Amino acid sequence: MREKRKGMLLVISGPSGVGKGTVSKCLDDEKDIIFSVSCTTRAPRPGEVDGREYHFVSEETFCRMVEEDGFLEHAFVHGNYYGTPRKPVMDALEAGQSVRLEIDPQGALQVMEKMPECVSVFILPPSFAELRRRLEGRNTEKPEDVERRLNNARGEVALKDRYQYLIVNDDLETACAALRSVVSAERHRSSRYYPAVEEE
């Protein structure tokens, strides 16, 4: 049978340290979902590659892109700028492809506002104590940064009901299975799936 699909804009968010990158990575093998590489002014963490996890840019470049309205969303988070380049996302969606954004809650709320047809997923920690352990375990944050991120997390978790789906990242496999089910279900949503039942 002939069937058409509209691309979906998948927004995955959650507090810093919750593991949204790790959970969302399970969608890497979904070949029809493009990963949107964000721009950031923060320094690369060990193992991060420019153009893969992020485009690492200068503040100057970032500000120029803001002036040129080059971002779908952008935010100042924990002392650094982050933004989603608009054009690759819009081009992919227009071509019927799906796009995955993995962004902070400030940016996610902006996208949900501008693109209400997006699919929004908020990743939660099992507890704030566990979130603290994960932030400390990174060994990339100073103690006062950990406190700041934890405080932000409380505010972000309080807004969890703005998202369509909630996934607790307690066990990684379980969280990934839940995320996959969201993607699979949303592929069957009548607003973006058009199967044509033909005579023969």
Q: How far is the CB of 124 from a second copy (least distance, A)?
A: 6
125 binds a second copy (CB under 8 A): yes
Residue 84: exposed, middle, or buried by beta-carbon count in 10 A (0-12, 13-18, 19+)? Answer: buried
The CA–CA distances, whole Å, from 1 to 4, 8, 194, 195 equal 10, 21, 11, 7
Neighbours of 75 (CB within 10 A): 19
5 binds a second copy (CB under 8 A): no
Please select the residue that binds a second copy; options are 32, 91, 170, 171, rule is CB under 8 A. 170
Q: Would you say 39 and 83 are in contact if contact means Cβ atoms under 8 Å apart?
A: yes
Q: Token pair for residue 166?
A: 């909630």
Pairing of strands 119-124, 165-168: parallel
133 binds a second copy (CB under 8 A): no
Q: How far is the CB of 197 from a second copy (least distance, A)?
A: 5
80 binds a second copy (CB under 8 A): no
Q: How far is the CB of 179 from a second copy (least distance, A)?
A: 9
Question: Residues in the site for a second copy, rule: CB under 8 A?
Answer: 1, 3, 122, 124-129, 157, 160-168, 170, 177-178, 180-182, 184-186, 188-191, 193, 195, 197-200
